[in-house]
Amino acid sequence: MKITWFGHSAFLLEGSKKVLVDPFITGNDNAPVKPDDIDCDLIAVTHGHGDHLGDAIFISKRQNVPIVAIYEVAEYINSKGASAVGMNFSGTYEHEGVKLTMVPALHSSGITESGFRHSGGLPAGFIIRMDNKTVYHAGDTGLFSDMKLIGELYEPDVALLPVGGLFTMDTELATIAARWLKPKVVIPMHYNTWPPITADPESMRPELDKEGIELVILKPGESYEL
Ligand code: NI
Ligand code: MN
């Protein structure tokens, strides 16, 4: 599986299928692609905030591919004429050999683009399983101890963790999350998009080294081969 970071929390996972997560491209100065250039089979959206729902509706319509999101966000997406599959925590949605399981995140989820007139239900993360590989996309989240359970249940190969602080965990708390999740690899996200979420994830390396967890710091546009 090839994991490409488009900056912020946007990733493209390419294996037998292409799964796009949280495609915030328009308005993200770090994004190395245009919404028009992205090719995918399925889109996962963790919550209703604009920096996660992003260009999902546009890409879904253009590519004629479904969006998977929590029920309330899915209903909003459907009302905008794109096609969404609503699900909820512990549920698994299977699409052409890709399994998406929804897990909790400690955050909020109002739908930015509707001026928060839609609640957006609750924020989520995803366990994404494809080609016998497991990736945990944590969405926007604070630290919560059920990450231990997520690690135990799903044994992620890779954890994509927010580290920018202010709206999510910072690098210190994401290091604790990594210790609990026990993935083989951590890829930091949700930092350096804007000044309030400036972070240097390199600071996580000594502690992760001790745990035998590889820290992979990508630049927007770079990929990690799993
Ligand atoms: Ni958010
Ligand atoms: Mn965010």
Per-residue pLDDT at 217: 98
- For 172, the token pair is 């210190």
CA of 49 to the centre of ligand 1 (A): 5
Give the mean model confidence (pLDDT) for residues 27-43. Answer: 96
Give the mean model confidence (pLDDT) for residues 142-156. Answer: 98
CA of 206 to the centre of ligand 2 (A): 26
Does the pLDDT value for residue 73 go beyond 90? yes
Determine, yes or no, domain membership for 94.
Answer: yes
CA of 195 to the centre of ligand 1 (A): 16
What is the extent of the structural domain holding 18?
A: 2-220
CA of 197 to the centre of ligand 2 (A): 10
Determine, yes or no, domain membership for 226.
Answer: no
Average pLDDT, the chain: 97
CA of 52 to the centre of ligand 2 (A): 6
Per-residue pLDDT at 118: 87
Does the pLDDT value for residue 68 go beyond 90? yes
Residue 211 and residue 179: Cα distance in Å, rounded? Answer: 7
CA of 143 to the centre of ligand 1 (A): 14
Per-residue pLDDT at 213: 98
Q: Which ligand is nearest to the CA of 190?
A: 2
Nearest of 107, 70, 62, 110 to residue 88 by alpha carbon: 70
Does the pLDDT value for residue 117 go beyond 90? no
Determine, yes or no, domain membership for 167.
Answer: yes
Give the mean model confidence (pLDDT) for residues 197-210. Answer: 98
Determine, yes or no, domain membership for 225.
Answer: no
CA of 110 to the centre of ligand 2 (A): 11
CA of 210 to the centre of ligand 1 (A): 31
Give the mean model confidence (pLDDT) for residues 79-106. Answer: 97
Residue 28 and residue 176: Cα distance in Å, rounded? Answer: 28
Per-residue pLDDT at 80: 96
CA of 141 to the centre of ligand 2 (A): 9
- For 170, the token pair is 């910072």
Give the mean model confidence (pLDDT) for residues 207-225. Answer: 98
State pTM to two decimals: 0.98
Does the pLDDT value for residue 99 go beyond 90? yes
Q: Which ligand is nearest to the CA of 9?
A: 2
Q: To which H or E segment does residue 62 belong? A: helix 56-63
Q: pLDDT of 176-194, one tens digit each? A: 999 999 999 999 999 999 9
The environment of the single-atom ion ligand 2, i.e. residues with CB closer than 5 A, is 51, 140
Determine, yes or no, domain membership for 158.
Answer: yes
CATH of the domain at 209: 3.60.15.10
Number of domains in the chain: 1
Per-residue pLDDT at 89: 98
Determine, yes or no, domain membership for 207.
Answer: yes
Q: In this structure, is the dihedral angle defined by the CA atoms of residues 116, 120, 126 and 130, taken in order, positive or negative?
A: negative
Determine, yes or no, domain membership for 34.
Answer: yes
Determine, yes or no, domain membership for 44.
Answer: yes
